[in-house]
Chain A
Amino acid sequence: MTENIVSVRDLETTFYSKVGGFRAVNRISYDINKGETLGIVGESGCGKSVTSFSLMRLIEHPGKITNGQVLLQGRDLLKLSEPEMEMVRGGEMAMIFQEPMTALNPVLTIGAQIDEQILKHRKVTPIEAKERSIEMLNLVGIPSPSDRYHNYPHQLSGGMRQRAMIAMALSCDPTFLIADEPTTALDVTIQAQILELIQGLQEKLNMTVQFITHDLGVISEISDRVLVMYGGQTCEVAETQELFSHPRHPYTAALISSRPKFGQRVRRLKTIEGSVPAPYEYPPGCPFTNRCPFATEICQLEKPPLRELSSGHTVACFHPVE
Chain B
Amino acid sequence: MTDNILEVRNVKKYFPIKKGLLLREVGQVRAVDDITLDVRRGETLGLVGESGCGKSTLGRALIRLYEPTSGEIRFDNQDFLKLKGKELREMRQNLQMIFQDPYASLDPRMTVGQILTQPFDIHKMFSPKERIEKVKELLEVVGLKASHINRYPHEFSGGQRQRISIARAVALNPSLVIADEPVSALDVSIQAQVLNLMKDLQEKLKLTYIFISHDLSVVEHLCDRIAVMYLGKIVEIASRDELFKNPQHPYTQSLISAIPRVGLGKKKMKKTLSGEVPSPINPPSGCHFHPRCPQKMDICSQKLPVLKHYPSATEEHKTSCWLYEK
Residues on A facing B (Cβ under 8 Å): 37, 43-44, 157, 159-160, 187-193, 195-196, 199-200, 214-218, 220-224, 240-241, 244-245, 254-256, 258-263, 265-266, 268-272, 275-276
Contact = CB atoms under 8 A, between A and B. Distances in A.
B263 A261 contact: yes
Contacts of A199: 268-269
Given A269-B196, A271-B192, A218 B269 contact: no
Contacts of A160: 276
Contact of B217 (A189, A192, A259, A275): A259
A262 B262 contact: yes
17 contacts: A44-B187, A188-B216, A188-B259, A192-B258, A193-B272, A199-B268, A220-B260, A221-B264, A244-B262, A244-B263, A244-B264, A259-B192, A260-B220, A262-B261, A266-B221, A268-B196, A270-B192
Given A265-B221, A269-B192, A259 B262 contact: yes
A220 B272 contact: no
Interface in B240-296: 244, 254-255, 258-274, 276-277
A189 B192 contact: no
B266 A223 contact: yes
A282 to B, nearest CB: 15
A43 to B, nearest CB: 4
Interface of B: 50-51, 157, 159-160, 187-193, 195-196, 199, 214, 216-218, 220-222, 244, 254-255, 258-274, 276-277
A177 B160 CA distance: 36
Given A189-B254, A196-B270, 19 more contacts: A43-B188, A157-B276, A188-B258, A189-B258, A216-B262, A217-B259, A217-B260, A220-B261, A223-B266, A224-B266, A244-B262, A258-B188, A258-B189, A260-B195, A260-B218, A270-B192, A271-B196, A275-B159, A275-B189
Contacts of B199: 268
Contacts of B276: 157, 159-160, 190
Q: Which of B193, B221, B266, B267 has the most CB of A within 10 A?
A: B266
A245 B262 CA distance: 10
Given A193-B273, A258-B192, A260-B217, A221 B266 contact: yes
A38 B109 CA distance: 44
B189 A188 contact: no
Given A187-B214, A193-B274, A265-B220, A244 B265 contact: yes
B189 A215 contact: no
Contacts, number: 139
Contact of A221 (B159, B196, B222, B261): B261
A250 to B, nearest CB: 12
A195 B192 CA distance: 26
A266 B272 CA distance: 28
A256 B262 contact: yes
Contacts of A43: 187-189
Given A271-B189, A276-B187, A220 B264 contact: yes
Contacts of B277: 187
A213 to B, nearest CB: 9
Contacts of B192: 258-260, 269-272
A310 to B, nearest CB: 17
Q: Which of A37, A200, A262 has the most CB of B within 10 A?
A: A262
Nearest to A193: B272
Nearest to B159: A275
A270 B189 CA distance: 9
Q: Which of B157, B262, B276 has the most CB of A within 10 A?
A: B262
B196 A189 contact: no
A218 B264 CA distance: 11
A221 B218 CA distance: 18
Q: Which of B50, B187, B244, B274 has the most CB of A within 10 A?
A: B187
A310 B4 CA distance: 56
A188 B50 contact: yes
A188 B255 contact: yes
A220 B188 contact: no
A191 B268 CA distance: 14
A271 B255 contact: no
A254 B262 contact: no
Considering the complex of A and B, which 5 residue pairs feature the smallest CB-CB distances, nearest first? A217-B260, A244-B263, A260-B221, A196-B269, A258-B192
A15 to B, nearest CB: 19
B99 to A, nearest CB: 19
A104 B104 CA distance: 26
A223 B267 CA distance: 9
Contacts of B258: 188-189, 191-192
Q: Which of B188, B216, B217 has the most CB of A within 10 A?
A: B188
Given A190-B276, A193-B274, A199-B269, A214 B260 contact: no
Nearest to B292: A189
B277 to A, nearest CB: 8
Contact of B272 (A157, A196, A256, A270): A196
Contacts of A216: 188, 262
Nearest to B256: A262
Contacts of B187: 43-44, 214, 275-276
A240 B265 contact: yes
B51 A195 contact: no
Nearest to B260: A217
Nearest to B221: A260
Contacts of B259: 188, 217, 262
Contacts of A261: 217, 262-263
B220 A272 contact: no
Contacts of B273: 189, 192-193
Nearest to B219: A260
B271 A221 contact: no
